[in-house]
Amino acid sequence: MQRSPIKLVRSLESRKSSNSFRTLKPQSSLIDFSSNDYLGFSQDAQIYDASHNLLSDLDLKLNGATGSRLLSGNHLVYDLAEQMLADFHHVEAGLIFNSGYDANIGFFSAVPQRGDIIFYDELSHASIRDGIGSSNARSYKFKHNDLSDLKALIEKNSGDTNQFDIYVVTESVFSMDGDMPDLKKLSKLCEEFDCFLIVDEAHATGIFGAAGEGLVHQLDLQDKVFAQINTFGKAIGCHGAVILGSNLLREYLINFSRSFIYTTALSPHAVATIFCAYEKLKSDASEIENLKQNIKIFKDEIIFQELKLYFVDSQSAIQSCIIPGNSNVKLIAEYLKNNGFEVKPILSPTVSFGKERLRFCVHSYNSAEEIRTVLNLLGNFVKRS
């Protein structure tokens, strides 16, 4: 048998001993309270058929892009999709990346320069932190959604901003807690100190705004935000991401973003699916309304089941129930699974030790009965514990 590096072996043993060892599991047929498919678009036959028809109309019967977009992969459907995305989100331009991870890596490794400063929320997604780690800029985290802490850090480190740029990074909906920053106050703070604001809209795209434009547009802040990162693997139900902003930003990323330049482009089919999913958003808001109603039912049931003290306060589709301890939260998740519900336990070190949780994702297609039943099961288990 091939020899393995001892440090790898020890790391895996440590994960197993802390009950945080990860494995890949087959897809579940249980009632879904775990996926990011908030609007059910990943299963939408109308979008599937429309994507096929669009490719046929464009005579793009290709299984792959054939190369990077700077070589042979820049097919016509990219131009259509990026113009549509810019118009939909009310910005000058957009550039599609292969994933949200690639978008954040590509942005933060390329845009902030040596000598610049990045301030980021301490609960920022791993892709943001990895991108910042690849940057030559200095970086400082601020306390979660704490604008006073951010202001103090900016004042301490600002100096002569004619010599460098300051970037402030947050998410409109945080992926583990489901909570939101005060983007209006944050944008005013950035204006006051001449900072460039970047907002990751991964879990707000398709949910907030009249047609799912996101929280930035709902608050009419698109002209105050230097860059938005909108991903398509959540409510949009497919794959990829777009960085939205000015024409200058788009041109810069095309020239300097390594995760854009040095990768094979998404296939025409993937981009056509993005286009058609957005077309459905524009024409039919019923799934968004269903989701909003289900979030309200979920929050009302939390109160009815006397579970409010366990849940992080959230107005989004992400509702997190704090159950400290990897073993404890895995036990409750298994109990719900045995009763027909798929709810994922989120373990440390993905979240901080003591902040382990059940992460409920509410969907437009969950029924009121399913919501009440799963929370009744949770309430009964908690009361017996």
State the CATH number of the domain containing residue 359: 3.90.1150.10
Query: pTM, whole model, 2 decimals?
Result: 0.94
Total domains in the chain come to: 2
Does 21 fall in a domain? no
Q: Are residues 194 and 336 in the same domain?
A: no
Q: Are residues 235 and 294 in the same domain?
A: no
Q: Are residues 92 and 176 in the same domain?
A: yes
Low-confidence ranges of the chain (pLDDT < 70): 160-161
Mark which of 227, 248, 283 sits at the end of a domain: 283
pLDDT at 22: 87
Could you give the 3-state DSSP secondary structure of residue 90? coil
pLDDT at 140: 97
Q: What is the CATH number of the domain that holds 248?
A: 3.40.640.10
Does 25 fall in a domain? no
Q: Are residues 103 and 226 in the same domain?
A: yes
Does 5 fall in a domain? no
pLDDT at 2: 86
Mark which of 283, 308, 334 sits at the end of a domain: 283
Q: Are residues 271 and 292 in the same domain?
A: no
Does 63 fall in a domain? yes
Q: How far apart are CA 306 and CA 300, in angstroms?
A: 10
pLDDT at 310: 96
Contacts 24+ apart (CB under 8 A), 337-345: 337/28, 337/30, 339/377, 340/30, 340/31, 341/30, 341/31, 341/33, 341/370, 341/373, 341/374, 341/377, 342/28, 342/30, 342/31, 342/32, 342/33, 342/34, 343/33, 343/34, 343/374, 344/34
Q: Are residues 249 and 276 in the same domain?
A: yes
Q: Are residues 50 and 140 in the same domain?
A: yes
pLDDT at 26: 84
Q: What would the two tokens of residue 245 be?
A: 């902003």
pLDDT at 19: 86
Mark which of 283, 310, 342 sits at the end of a domain: 283
pLDDT at 109: 97
Nearest to 298 by CA among 250, 251, 363: 363
Show the beta-strand stretches assigned E in the chain.
Answer: 31-32, 93-97, 117-121, 138-142, 166-171, 196-200, 227-231, 241-245, 318-322, 341-342, 344-346, 357-361
pLDDT at 336: 97
Does 292 fall in a domain? yes
Q: Are residues 217 and 311 in the same domain?
A: no
Check whether the bond before 349 is cis (ω within 30° of 0): yes
Does 346 fall in a domain? yes
Q: Are residues 274 and 289 in the same domain?
A: no
pLDDT at 1: 79
Q: Are residues 268 and 308 in the same domain?
A: no
> Where in the sequence is the domain holding 147, given as residue range(s)?
45-283
Q: Are residues 237 and 378 in the same domain?
A: no
Contacts 24+ apart (CB under 8 A), 150-153: 150/119, 150/186, 150/189, 151/189, 151/193, 153/119
Q: How far is CA 4 from CA 20, 234, 248, in A?
A: 21, 37, 48
